[in-house]
Amino acid sequence: MQYLFTFFVLCATFILGSCEEDDPFRLLFESSWTEQTDLIPLEVSGTVPTWLSGSFIRNAPGAFEMGKRNLTMAFDGYAKLFEWNIDGKNGKVQYRTRFQESHWFNSSKRQKDISASVLFGSTDPPENFMFDMERMFAASDNRNVNVWQFGDTKALIADMTMSYHLDDNLRAAEPLTFNDGWTNASKSISCAHPQHMPTKPGTTKRPYSPNNMWSTHDSINYFCKTNPFGTTACNLIRIDKNLVRHVIPNTTFTFPFRKISYMHSFGLTDTHAILFGYPLYYGFLGMMMGQSVSKSFRWMPEDGVRVFVIALDGSGVTELHSDDSFFCFHTINAFNDGDGEFVIDLTETDVNNVLHPLVIKDMRNRTKRNSIVPQLEVRRYRVNTKTSSVTYEPIDMKDHEKNWDFTYTDLPQLNMGYRGKEYCVFYGLNTNSNFTMDFAFNAAVKKNVCDNSIAAFSDTTIFSGEPVFAARPGAEKEDDGVVLLSALDTKSQRTALIILDASNMKELARAYVPADMHLPFGIHGQFFSNE
C-alpha cells in the first residue's frame, strides 16, 4: 500500500509526543500549512563542501486535518514536498515547500473537510456511513512516501503504481503519464523503492558517478495486477528513460486468493531480483467494503515466507521457502556471492509494530510514545538456489568501544554506485539507542559491514530524519561524500538541514528554515545532483 506505514511504524517508536507546550518534539506531529513556492535563501553556519550541488527533496505528511475534522493516523497526512537547493561553490542553500495537489487534497480543500479516500486509519470526528460508502470507490492518490526520477522526470511514488509528476518548480499537480498505453495500471500494486538497472555482471562497482544515475539508467520494479477474487500475477518491469514500461520476459510469480504479500522493497543484484513474499497480506476485500487499511491487513506467520529469485536476463524464476516467518520494510543491499548464493541485507521488524497503528493523539502524548519500543534487527540473509536454503545471521550494530547499541536501526541508505554489488558501508536511522525508553535518543548511523566498525551523529536536542548519502564527484572510496539530514532542532523549534561528513559522521554545515515552514515527521527523500 502507498501508506508507508512501513517506516512510520518503525520510527514512530521514537516519535510519539505530547501536545503540551513543554514537549520539545510537538512540531513533529503538527501541521505545516505554510507554502513557499519560490526558493528563498537560508542562513548557513559551517562550511558547505564546494563540490556539493543539487537538490535534496523530502516527501512527508504535511498536514493532519482539514476544516474541523482530523486524521487519526500520521501516515494519512496530506503529502507535502520540502526542497533544499544546495550551491556548494558559493556556500549557499535555498529552500521551498509546497503541497502535492492531489485529487484528494483539492477535493478536501473545496469541501473544507476530509473527502472520501482509502485511509490507513480514520477521522475524528468519525466519518458517517456515506463516507464509508464513497471510499469503497475512491482510489487514494496521496503520494507522501518517496521521490524518484525516471530519466529526466521526477515523480512522487508509493506502493501503488500510479505516481505524480513533480516539475522543476516543486509542483505535483498531475498524475505521471507513461508512454506505453497500459490500461488500468493505476489500480495495480508495486513498491515505493524501485531500483536502478544494474550494469553488466562482474564489475566491482558501477562505472559511472552514482550522482548521474537518475538520468542515465533505467529503473526496475515489480508490478502486480491485483485480482481480489482469484490468483494475482506479478512481473518484473523495466521503466526506461522515455517513461515506457517493459515486462521482463519469464519473470511471472503469483499469489493465491487473499494472499497477496505486502512488499515495500526488494533486493537487486547485477543478475537477479530477490523478493520476499512475507505472510502479511493485503486485505483488498475489506478495503472494498470500506474498511481502513490498518484493519484489513492479515498476518499469517504459519505460512512462512516465499522467496522469489528472478533472473534479469529472462531465464526464469526460482521459488524457495522459509519456515521462519519475518517481515521487512527496507532492503539495504543485495549481491551475488557465487555458486548460486545471494546475499540480501535488510532490516527485520516485529510485524506487531505494523499491525498496531500509531495514532496521532498517542504520538502527542509523551508517556505513550516512550512506552512503545520498536523491535528491529539488521540481518544478513543468504539465499542459495542450489541447496534451496534460506538462512540469516544478525549484523552487529554495537559500538563495543563506547558501549553503545544501535540495534533498532532502519531507513537504510548507501552509495548507489555500490547498489547490487558487494559493498561495505550503509547509513541508517537509529531509534531508542542503547534500548532507552526516551525517543530523544535518536542517531544517524554509519555501519561498515566489512570491518564491523560503526559511527554515529547523535544529539538529544535534535530529531533526525532519514540519512541520505551524496557521493563526491570522482570519488574512489565508498564513503567519500556527505550525509544529508533534515532535523528538528528542539532548542530553536525549527527544522534544519544538517550536512555531515559521510566518512566520520561529523557535522560540516547547518541551515535553518523559517519557523512556520517546519518539516513534520517525514518519510523518504533523495538527493538529485546537478553534476
For the stretch 33-77, pLDDT in tens is 999 999 999 999 999 999 999 999 999 999 999 999 999 998 899
Instruction: Tell me the residue ranges of DSSP E strands in 19-125.
Output: 36-42, 44-46, 53-63, 65-66, 69-71, 78-87, 92-99, 123-124
Strand bridging mode 376-384 / 341-349:
antiparallel
Check residue 210 and give its pLDDT.
Answer: 62
- In whole angstroms, give the CA distance from residue 63 to residue 102: 13
Q: How far is CA 352 from the centre of its chain?
A: 19
Following CA atoms 47, 49, 50, 53 in sequence, which dihedral angle do they give, to the nearest 10 degrees?
A: -120
Neighbours of 306 (CB within 10 A): 18
CA-to-CA dists, residue 158 to 141, 325, 332, 519, angstroms: 9, 25, 18, 19
- The pLDDT of residue 160: 85
- Classified as helix, coil or strand, 433 is helix
Nearest to 107 by CA among 145, 67, 76: 67
The grid cell for 130 is 456515506
Rounded to a whole number of angstroms, the distance between the first and last alpha carbons of the chain is 34
Check residue 19 and give its pLDDT. 41
Contact 159, 264 (CB under 8 A): yes
* φ, ψ (nearest 5 deg) of residue 74: -60, -35
Exposure string for 421-434, b = 16+ CB within 10 A, e = fewer: bebbbbbbbbbbbb
Output DSSP code: residue 461. Answer: T
Contacts of 201 (CB under 8 A, 6+ apart): 270, 271, 336
Residue 470 CB neighbour total at 10 angstroms: 28
Which set of grid coordinates corresponds to residue 221? Answer: 520494479
| Closest to 343 in 3D by CA, of 305, 375, 314, 309 | 309
Give the DSSP H/E element, type plus range, for residue 513.
none
Residues of the chain with pLDDT under 70: 1-22, 129-139, 184-187, 199-215, 353-357, 372-374, 432-441
Q: Is the peptide bond between 125 and the residue preceding it cis, with omega within 30 degrees of 0?
A: yes
Q: Give the residue carrying C-alpha cell 519473470.
A: 251
